[in-house]
Amino acid sequence: MLYPVHIEPGDATHAHGITVPDFPGCFSAADDWSEIPGKVQEVAEAHFADGEPMPGPSDLQRWVESRQYEGGFWLLVDIDRSRGSID
């Protein structure tokens, strides 16, 4: 399923910051753009490793309008929910 993911772009000395707002406290980083989908899957699986159900994705518009996520940009990333607990 496609989840909204907020990206704070990095540079030559800083990784790209990754936040998955549907999963509070769930964040990661990637040195290369191509690593972002894999890092999102990895952090989602780790976040729900204790068996807590993984919620479905929220509407991207909910987060776009949030002052908490000013700057950066949004991606929709496909998270394989079969690899973790789902509700």
CATH number of the domain bearing residue 37: 3.30.160.250
In this prediction, residue 86 carries a pLDDT of: 46
| Within-domain flag for 1 | no
Residue 54 placed within a domain? yes
Q: Tell me the average pLDDT of the chain.
A: 91
CA atoms within 13 A on the CB side of 5: 26
Q: How many domains does the chain have?
A: 1
Residue 16 lies in a domain: yes
- Contact predicate 79/28, CB 8 Å: no
Largest pairwise CA distance in the chain: 39
The answer as to whether 29 is a domain residue is yes
Write out pLDDT tens, residues 12-54. Answer: 999 999 999 999 999 999 999 999 999 999 999 999 998 888 9
Residue 63 lies in a domain: yes
Q: Is the pLDDT of residue 8 over 60?
A: yes
Q: Considering the domain boundaries, does residue 60 fall inside one?
A: yes
Q: Which residue has the tokens 């972002």?
A: 36
Q: How far apart are CA 67 and CA 1, in angstroms?
A: 25
Question: Could you tell me the residue range of the domain that residue 52 belongs to?
Answer: 7-83
Q: What's the mean pLDDT in 53-78?
A: 92
